[in-house]
Amino acid sequence: RSLGREVEALAAARALAAALPERVDVWAQVAHLLEAADDREAAVAVLDEALARHGPWPAHERRALVSIALNALWGAQRFDLLLERLER
């Protein structure tokens, strides 16, 4: 039952991100919903897409999106990818 709500929430957040691609809070919500669904790598991919396609972002918003991605990689124990990003 709650899985249906999670799927609906993710679909709604993705639709909102498509409609408002300049809103950092919307991208953060999409990523958090993906993390909650235990799909951290998809969360990182969404954030990478937002950073690449919907900028330029003010420095504080870029830092927020990057931080969420790094936390998702840490939570997924993808230390190889985390280290690669930290070395950029």
Range 10-30 average pLDDT: 96
Range 16-23 average pLDDT: 96
The reported pLDDT for the residue numbered 88 is 79
Interatomic CA distance for residues 71 and 48, integer angstroms:
13
Percent of the chain with pLDDT over 70: 97
Tell me the pLDDT of the chain averaged across its residues.
93
Whether the pTM exceeds 0.75: the reply is yes
DSSP letter string over the chain?
-HHHHHHHHHHHHHHHHHH-TT-HHHHHHHHHHHHHTT-HHHHHHHHHHHHHHS-PPPHHHHHHHHHHHHHHHHHTT-HHHHHHHHT-
Q: Is the pLDDT of residue 1 over 60?
A: no
Which region, left, alpha or beta, applies to residue 38 given φ > 0 means left and ψ of -120 to 50 means alpha?
left
Contact between 37 and 72 (Cβ < 8 Å): no
pLDDT bucket at 55, cuts 50 / 70 / 90: confident
Q: Which residue has the higher pLDDT, 85 or 60?
A: 60
